[in-house]
């Protein structure tokens, strides 16, 4: 094992208000203010930013003092929520922009995987674009020629290679772009979130190819993604970025769970929330004791919703909760409709109390979504996917004293009995 | 884990950069990209058109025809013994090359922002490819010029090629470099000051009128001696005037003019490379 890339003290600073507003008149005005010793009149725009820890508020540090090393043949995941600085780091790594401080030293050529069809010329055919795109990525003509057939085969665009790319579907473009990059042979490959595109089959193919790249050929890969499943299956190590600083570095599983735990709390929802025909006065999730705390696997819990509705007689109301996991996958629903509990309300203020006798959803972090529908007028009155975040902790679901661990549990636990003959 | 010594690193991405960071080795490594860009520029422009590359010829021919009618027949500009059409065609072709180099280069950063924002390659490849692909287009236009030249010679027009025409390629190279230099400066500034985009549009048009395209330099000196200096200090005018001297044997040739033009071109090119170099590092943050 040897270090192939080493980043020391990488910081990137963006100046607010200056960037993008630059016209001569602005710059002259700015200069005129400076001459008279006044403050920059344009910096007030967007100057408030909670990420300005290092200097006064006219600067934003998109990245601050990032240090890491990458071993040869390693697949390093870089995870973090939007705005954590992942893309900025990638831009610096792929030499699109330079850091404000620090440097990155590398012993190999770095190439980044283009986003959907960037660098494709719509008028050129698929084959011509393979050459153009490959050359943009740093391949020589001879290198591309040697790989041409493999690339075409992998992309699955055989029939269309002599058709201008402008007639391609977006999926085909991604396939072609990915194929070119996948057969690229840089020492270090940088991939940003591209796997989010393409159909399931192609995603699988792409992940497989990337495993081949990193394991088989000993290529080094830097992989940036929101897709925790992909990160888990691909990466050998990961870095978690938060507000432009590196907060965790270590094994993939630990990093992923650190990321999930530290995913910043949703902005607290302030009640009442107004919607078209009323207001949500309050929403509580109560555990088996009726307390407002984390829920336990296998125990009773209650969703308590308090609404006020204008002109209640005209509305037949339907309440639907949806439970989303941290990959924003819908896990289950709780719906008045299934319980014949849709009704025309009599009074303006109403309580909706949904009791779940046995909470059998696998432990973890979830978001509760809410939809309020008016069945009379077939209208959605209110909907959100993040009304409240809840934590389900492992509990004695089978009353055996054996607590299921979080790992390898699946989505839910069915009630069950065992007989052994 | 053994950390290699500093000299073992292939390259460093650093916050510090040199004034002129011109890596010829790297540009050479990307030569295939340069050729593919040239191919793309030449091939795709007139895709899905009926006349295709003929458009490269139609533009200068009709412009030369219009100029001849307006400036020579109506406004009576004298072109000496040279047929006015040929005089204009020479001027327009060479001016056209400069014009294309300048306008296309000045758009480098803006029109390639999407690619530049994703992947690294030496940015200078793009303006270089513009210079080369326009040179090819100029070559096609030169062929049509030669065809008319032969036609007029056969019809006994009083034109002769000067022996200095062997330096004509150098003159065109100079023209390309001048366009490249100015274009690189503008392309760098336009990432911040979008105003320049509009300035380039009509600025180039105005520049044509002071570049001795449709009149001989001597005529300017004779008719408007007070403002002839505008033309005399314009390096483009010297190139066009000299080119006509080489091709048609008309106009003036001055060593001062040539040396002046070479000097200005290299100063502009030098500054162009410096400012382009500075911009390419961080333009993606401002564009």
Q: Could you tell me if residue B145 is inside a domain?
A: yes
Q: What is the DSSP string of A224-251?
A: E-S-HHHHHHH-SEEEEEETTEEEEEEE
Which of B13, B36, B194 lies at the smallest CB-CB distance from A95?
B13
CA distance A218 to B231: 63
Tally: H helices and E strands in chain A: 8, 19
- Nearest-CA residue of chain B relative to A100? B15
d(CA A139, CA A153): 19
Q: Does B197 touch chain A (CB under 8 A)?
A: no
Q: Is B2 among the domain residues?
A: no
Structure tokens at A329: 């996958």
The Cα of A110 is separated from the nearest Cα of chain B by a number of Å equal to 9
DSSP three-state, residue A330: strand
In a domain, B12, yes or no: no
Token pair 């803006």 in the structure block, residue:
B110
If one compares B281 and B180, the residue with the highest pLDDT of the two is: B180
Q: Do B192 and A100 touch (CB under 8 A)?
A: no
Distance from CA of B195 to the nearest CA of A (A): 7
Q: Taking CB atoms and an 8 Å limit, are A123 and B284 in contact across chains?
A: no
The answer to whether the CB atoms of A107 and B10 lie below 8 A apart is: yes
The verdict on a CB contact (< 8 Å) between B286 and A132 is no
CB contact under 8 A, A97 and B6: no
Dihedral angle computed from the Cα positions of residues A253, A258, A260 and A263, in that order, rounded to the nearest 10 degrees: -150
Chain B CB within 8 Å of residue A177 CB: no
A129 touching chain B per CB within 8 A: no
Q: Does B73 touch chain A (CB under 8 A)?
A: no
Is B8 a domain residue?
A: no
Task: For chain A, say whether B282 makes contact (Cβ under 8 Å).
Answer: yes
Q: Answer whether B8 touches A (CB < 8 Å).
A: yes
Domains of chain A: 72-262 (3.40.50.300), 273-393 (2.70.50.60)
- How many whole angstroms separate alpha carbon B177 and alpha carbon A222? 40
Which is higher by pLDDT, A341 or B66? B66
Structural domain includes residue B4:
no
| Token output for B94 | 């060479």
Residue B250 and residue B166 in contact, taking contact as beta carbons nearer than 8 Å: no
Ramachandran region of residue A199, left (φ > 0), alpha (ψ -120 to 50) or beta? beta
B198 touches chain A (CB under 8 A): no
CB atoms within 10 A of CB A312: 20
| Closest to A76 in 3D by CA, of A178, A182, A223, A273 | A223
Residue B11 lies in a domain: no
Tens digits of residue pLDDT in B151-168: 988 887 777 787 888 889
How close B110 comes to chain A (CA, Å)? 13
B148 in contact with A, Cβ within 8 Å: no
Contact A138 B48 (CB under 8 A): no
- Best mutation target, A63, A136, A193, to test chain B (most B CBs within 10 A): A136
Contact (CB<8Å) A23/B44 = no
Cis bond leading into A272, ω under 30°? yes
A385 vs B: CB within 8 A? no
Contact B119 A98 (CB under 8 A): no
Q: Which residue of B has its CA nearest to A112?
A: B119
Q: Do A124 and B40 touch (CB under 8 A)?
A: yes
Question: What's the rounded Cα separation, in Å, for the pair A418 and A170?
Answer: 51
Nearest beta carbon to residue B15 from set A96, A103, A106:
A103
- Output the CA torsion sign for A63, A68, A73, A78: negative
Query: Which of A101, A20, A226 minimizes the C-alpha distance to B113?
Result: A20
Question: Number of folded domains in chain B?
Answer: 1
Interface test with B, best of A6, A96, A123, A140 (most B CBs within 10 A): A96
The better pLDDT of the pair B3, A323 is held by: A323
- Chain A residue with Cα closest to B192: A22
- How far, in Å, CA of A381 to CA of A317, rounded? 9
- The pLDDT tens digits of the residues spanning B247-272 come to 888 877 888 888 999 999 999 999 99
Per-residue pLDDT at B131: 93
Measured CA angle at B97 (ends B94, B103), to 5 deg:
140
What tokens does B137 get? 């287009």
Residues of A with CB below 8 A from B110's CB?
Answer: none
Contacts of A402 (CB under 8 A, 6+ apart): A396
Residue B106's alpha-carbon distances to A101, A325, B95, B103, B272, in angstroms, are 30, 50, 16, 5, 11
Residue whose C-alpha is closest to residue B61's, from B98, B100, B92, B103: B92
Kindly list the residues from chain A whose CB atom is less than 8 angstroms away from the CB atom of residue B6.
105
Query: In sequence order, which residues have a C-beta less than 8 Å from that of residue A167 and are 6 or more positions away?
Result: A160
Q: Which residues contact A116 (CB under 8 A, 6 or more apart)?
A: A170, A173, A174, A177, A194, A197
Domain contains B75: yes
Which among B13, B16, B281 has the least Cβ separation from residue A104?
A: B13
Which residue in B7, B15, B133 has the most chain A C-beta atoms within 10 A of its own C-beta, making it the best mutation to test that interface?
Answer: B15
Q: Are strands B11-14 and A101-106 parallel, antiparallel or unpaired?
A: antiparallel
Range of the domain at B40: 20-286
Tell me, what's the ipTM? Answer: 0.81
Alpha helices in A10-108 (DSSP H): 24-35, 86-93
Q: Measured between alpha carbons, how far is B284 from A235 in angstroms, rounded to an integer? A: 29
- Helix, strand, coil share (%) of chain A residues, nearest 5: 25, 35, 40
Look at residue B229 and tell me if it is in a domain: yes
User: Would you write out chain A's pLDDT as a tens digit for each of its 421 residues?
Assistant: 688 888 888 888 776 655 444 556 666 776 777 777 766 555 444 333 344 333 344 567 788 888 888 888 888 888 887 677 887 888 888 888 888 888 888 888 887 765 555 678 888 888 888 898 888 888 888 988 998 898 898 888 888 888 888 888 877 887 888 788 778 777 888 877 655 556 667 777 777 777 777 666 677 888 887 667 677 777 889 998 888 888 888 888 888 877 766 654 544 567 788 887 888 888 888 887 777 777 888 888 999 998 888 887 878 888 999 998 877 788 899 988 888 777 777 777 888 889 998 888 888 888 888 988 888 878 888 888 878 888 887 777 887 777 777 677 888 888 888 899 8
A105 has a chain B CB within 8 A of its CB: yes
Say if CB A381 and CB A374 are below 8 A apart.
yes
Residue contacts between A and B (CB atoms, under 8 Å): 128
């Amino acid at each position: 094992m040897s270090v192939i890339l080493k980043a020391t003290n990488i910081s990137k600073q963006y100046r607010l208000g200056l960037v993008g507003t630059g016209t001569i008149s602005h710059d002259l005005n700015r200069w005129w203010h400076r001459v008279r010793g006044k403050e920059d009149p344009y910096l007030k725009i967007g100057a408030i930013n909670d990420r300005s820890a290092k200097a006064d508020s006219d600067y934003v540090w998109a990245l601050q003092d990032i240090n890491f090393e990458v071993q040869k043949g390693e697949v390093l995941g870089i995870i973090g929520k939007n705005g954590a600085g992942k893309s900025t780091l990638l831009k610096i790594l792929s030499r699109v922009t330079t850091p404000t401080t620090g440097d990155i030293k590398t012993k190999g050529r770095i190439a980044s995987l283009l986003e959907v069809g960037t660098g494709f010329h719509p008028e050129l055919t698929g084959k011509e674009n393979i050459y153009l795109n490959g050359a943009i990525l740093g391949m020589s003509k001879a290198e591309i020629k040697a790989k041409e057939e493999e690339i075409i085969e992998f992309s699955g665009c055989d029939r269309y290679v002599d058709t201008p790319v402008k007639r391609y579907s977006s999926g085909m473009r991604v396939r072609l772009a990915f194929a070119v990059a996948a057969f690229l042979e840089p020492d270090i490959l940088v991939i940003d979130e591209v796997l989010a595109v393409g159909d399931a089959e192609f995603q699988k193919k792409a992940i497989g190819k990337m495993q081949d790249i990193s394991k088989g050929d000993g290529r080094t890969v830097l992989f940036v993604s929101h897709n925790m499943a992909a990160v888990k299956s691909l990466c050998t190590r990961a870095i978690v970025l938060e507000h432009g600083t590196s907060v965790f570095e270590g094994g993939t599983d630990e990093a992923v769970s650190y990321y999930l735990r530290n995913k910043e709390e949703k902005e607290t929802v302030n009640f009442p929330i107004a919607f078209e025909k009323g207001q949500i006065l309050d929403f509580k999730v109560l555990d088996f004791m009726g307390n407002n705390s984390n829920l336990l696997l296998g125990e009773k819990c209650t969703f308590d919703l308090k609404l006020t509705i204008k002109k209640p007689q005209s509305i037949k109301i339907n309440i639907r909760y949806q439970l989303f996991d941290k990959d924003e996958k819908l896990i289950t629903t709780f719906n008045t409709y299934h319980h014949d509990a849709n009704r025309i309300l009599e009074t303006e203020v109403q309580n909706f109390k949904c009791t779940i006798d046995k909470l059998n959803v696998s432990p973890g972090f979830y978001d509760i979504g809410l939809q309020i529908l008016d069945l009379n007028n077939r209208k959605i009155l209110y909907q959100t996917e993040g009304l409240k975040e809840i934590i389900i902790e492992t509990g004695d679901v089978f009353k055996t004293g054996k607590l299921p661990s979080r790992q390898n549990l699946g989505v839910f636990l069915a009630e069950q009995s065992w007989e052994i003959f | 884990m053994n950390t290699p010594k500093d000299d073992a690193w292939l390259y460093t991405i650093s916050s510090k950069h040199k004034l002129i960071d011109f890596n010829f080795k790297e540009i050479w490594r990307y030569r295939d990209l340069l050729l593919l860009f040239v191919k793309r520029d030449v091939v795709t422009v007139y895709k899905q058109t009926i006349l295709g590359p003929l458009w490269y010829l139609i533009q200068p021919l009709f412009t030369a025809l219009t100029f001849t009618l307006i400036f020579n027949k109506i406004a009576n500009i004298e072109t000496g013994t040279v047929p006015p059409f040929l005089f204009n065609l020479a001027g327009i072709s060479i001016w056209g090359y400069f014009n294309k180099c300048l306008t296309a280069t000045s758009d480098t950063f803006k029109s390639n922002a999407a690619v530049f924002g994703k992947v690294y390659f030496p940015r200078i490849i793009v303006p270089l490819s513009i210079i080369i692909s326009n040179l090819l287009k100029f070559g096609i236009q030169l062929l049509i010029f030669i065809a008319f030249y032969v036609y007029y010679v056969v019809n006994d027009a009083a034109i002769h090629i000067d022996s200095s025409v062997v330096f004509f390629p150098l003159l065109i190279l100079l023209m390309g470099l001048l366009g490249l230099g100015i274009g690189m400066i503008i392309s760098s500034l336009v990432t911040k000051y979008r105003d320049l985009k509009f300035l380039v549009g009509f600025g180039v048009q105005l520049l044509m009128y002071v570049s001795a395209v449709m009149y001989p330099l001597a005529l300017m000196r004779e008719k408007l001696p007070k403002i002839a200096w505008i033309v005399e200090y314009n390096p483009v005018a010297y190139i066009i005037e000299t080119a006509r001297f080489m091709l048609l044997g008309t106009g003036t040739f001055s060593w001062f003019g040539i040396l002046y033009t070479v000097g200005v071109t290299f100063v502009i090119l030098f500054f162009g490379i410096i400012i382009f170099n500075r911009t390419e590092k961080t333009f993606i943050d401002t564009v």
